[in-house]
Amino acid sequence: MSRLLDRFLRYVRVGTTANEKSGTYPSSPGQRVLGAMLLNELSEMGILDALQDENGIVWGTLPATVAHQAPTVAFVAHVDTSPETTGEGVKPIVHEGYDGEDIVLPGDPTKVLRPAEDPDLAKLVGQTIITTDGTTLLGGDDKAGVAVVMEAAQRMLEQPELPRGPVRLCFTCDEEIGHGVDHVDIQTLGARVAYTLDGSGVGEIDIETFSADLATVTITGTNIHPAIAKGRMVNAVRIAGQFLARLPCNEQAPEVTDGRDGFLHPYTIEGGVGKTTIRILLRDFDTPKLAERAELLRQTAREVVKDYPTATIEVKITEQYRNMADGLRKEPRAAAFAEEAMRRVGLTPKLAIVRGGTDGSRLTEKGLPTPNLSTGEHNIHSPLEWTCLEEMETAVRVVLELAGVWSGERS
């Protein structure tokens, strides 16, 4: 596993934080830098068609080792990290033979991983845990997946006796801001089925995700010097506060929901007296309910603006991704074969829902069935993020077995 660990540590040190304000793809230069590293490594492995395209996406193909025409399987991971916590200057710390005690992160001692509060961590005494120093996220989402796919590809090439059909590799950018597969053409990918390596823990197969929209609420007021503001100023910041206060936070916030509950999640607010913008995530497993949540925002805007007749509140809805469940029903082998691969490595597979989305959500929506598989990610998007090397190693073995399961089929 030392090579797998070395890969992961190398990748997380490259800053690849996605930037939803950039207007470019990829949205941050570090994503191209990491992509170039992957391209070089794939070429050194002997993957002859490896390339990084004009959009920064990295592609490669492993030829089949079986004589018959087996379906092509794709493995996908994304190189960017969440903008919710900085991914610049990551200092990973490796805790070999984890002793089961609290882990104080030295860059910020107020950040402590406590097994009493984290059941997943409590189960992994004796294993290798990788954390941040507490000042950044780790980037295991999804550099754990990147490392798993890269390591699996190298082992496939080193062990040609392992049966497989054609295997396609794809490393995307900007998944964290909803643009991961904007430039992935499924005809170019050429796969019958795909798997994203972008999941928590071990042994889980995500077969259902949220459907997701983004609401951008723009409040326009009137700015004027406060010395002469009486009867003339309309403060967009105050209006924003009233708008947020009227949202049903006790019922529809991520802080108070779980399981199959959807939510409204205001996550950024910026601007000033003249104009303030709020971005709100809309999430639900039942896609039509997104429209209901959007209408709630519009109705709230209409109510608030009654008190400020010269102000305006615009609610713009942008579609992000859709629940993968419907698309996966069209190819039941996608999840069933992943279950078989996990059983072959000694796991008891669990079909799961994920309160988020992956590149697989949009790939499935485009017509390519793409479940999501565990890769050892924990506490994602946070300075308390950590991964487990042994769980990553298990994910590598699942990928190898999964290629083998599909090799028994015929195109």
192 plus 285 within the same structural domain? no
Q: What average pLDDT does range 234-244 have in this prediction? A: 97
E strand or H helix at 94? strand 93-95
3-state secondary structure of 75: strand
218 plus 72 within the same structural domain? no
Domain final position from 321, 346, 378: 321
46 plus 120 within the same structural domain? yes
86 plus 188 within the same structural domain? yes
Domain final position from 287, 321, 355: 321
**CATH, residue 256:** 3.30.70.360
36 plus 70 within the same structural domain? yes
The whole domain housing 223 covers 211-321
**How many structural domains does the chain have?**
2
Whether 258 is catalytic: no
Alpha helices for 285-324 (secondary structure H): 288-305
Instruction: Give the Cα separation of 148 and 170 in Å (integer).
Output: 13
Question: Phi, psi (5° rounding) for residue 170?
Answer: -150, 125
Residue 411 scores a pLDDT above 90: no
CB 37 within 8 A of CB 12: no
147 plus 28 within the same structural domain? yes
CA distances 385 to 12, 134, 155, 334, 365, Å, are 12, 9, 28, 29, 29
Evaluated on CA atoms 358, 364, 366, 368, the torsion sign reads positive
How does residue 343 score in pLDDT terms, banded at 50, 70 and 90?
Answer: very high
**CATH, residue 88:** 3.40.630.10
Instruction: Give the Cα separation of 267 and 272 in Å (integer).
Output: 17
What tokens does 79 get?
Answer: 């190189």
Residue 357 scores a pLDDT above 90: no
264 plus 159 within the same structural domain? no
3-state secondary structure of 250: helix
E strand or H helix at 3? helix 2-12
Evaluated on CA atoms 12, 80, 334, 187, the torsion sign reads negative
DSSP per residue, 347-373: ---EEEEESS--HHHHHHHHT----EE
Instruction: Give the Cα separation of 231 and 217 in Å (integer).
Output: 25
pLDDT at 5: 98
Which residue is catalytic, options 41, 80, 151, 393? Answer: 80
38 plus 162 within the same structural domain? yes
How does residue 326 score in pLDDT terms, banded at 50, 70 and 90?
Answer: confident
What tokens does 194 get?
Answer: 């795909």
Instruction: Give the Cα separation of 353 and 356 in Å (integer).
Output: 9
Strands 112-113 and 263-271 turn out to be: unpaired
Calculate ∠ Cα 325-327-331, nearest 5°: 105
Q: How many residues appear in the chain? A: 411
Q: Is the model's pTM score more than 0.85?
A: yes
The pLDDT tens digits of the residues spanning 41-63 come to: 999 999 999 999 999 999 999 99
Q: What average pLDDT does range 320-346 have in this prediction? A: 94
How does residue 184 score in pLDDT terms, banded at 50, 70 and 90?
Answer: very high
E strand or H helix at 345? none
284 plus 234 within the same structural domain? yes
Which residue is catalytic, options 41, 175, 198, 401? Answer: 175
Instruction: Give the Cα separation of 285 and 260 in Å (integer).
Output: 7
The pLDDT tens digits of the residues spanning 205-222 come to: 999 999 999 999 999 999
Instruction: Give the Cα separation of 183 and 174 in Å (integer).
Output: 11
Whether 175 is catalytic: yes
Instruction: Give the Cα separation of 118 and 359 in Å (integer).
Output: 27
How does residue 367 score in pLDDT terms, banded at 50, 70 and 90?
Answer: very high
CB-CB neighbours of 380 under 10 Å = 24
pLDDT at 250: 75
191 plus 215 within the same structural domain? no
Residue 377 scores a pLDDT above 90: yes
Closest-CA residue to 82 (of 132, 123, 47): 132
3-state secondary structure of 183: coil
Instruction: Give the Cα separation of 94 and 396 in Å (integer).
Output: 19
The pLDDT tens digits of the residues spanning 246-295 come to: 998 777 899 999 999 999 999 999 999 999 999 999 999 999 999 999 99
Summary mean pLDDT of the chain: 96
pLDDT at 265: 95
309 plus 360 within the same structural domain? no
309 burial via Cβ count (<10 Å: 0-12, 13-18, 19+)? exposed
pLDDT at 320: 87
Instruction: Give the Cα separation of 7 and 79 in Å (integer).
Output: 13
CB 383 within 8 A of CB 139: no
32: CB partners within 8 A, 6+ apart: 26, 52, 56, 173
109 plus 167 within the same structural domain? yes
Domain final position from 293, 321, 349: 321
CB-CB neighbours of 31 under 10 Å = 27
For residue 365, the cross-strand partners are none
Closest-CA residue to 78 (of 132, 167, 6, 147): 147
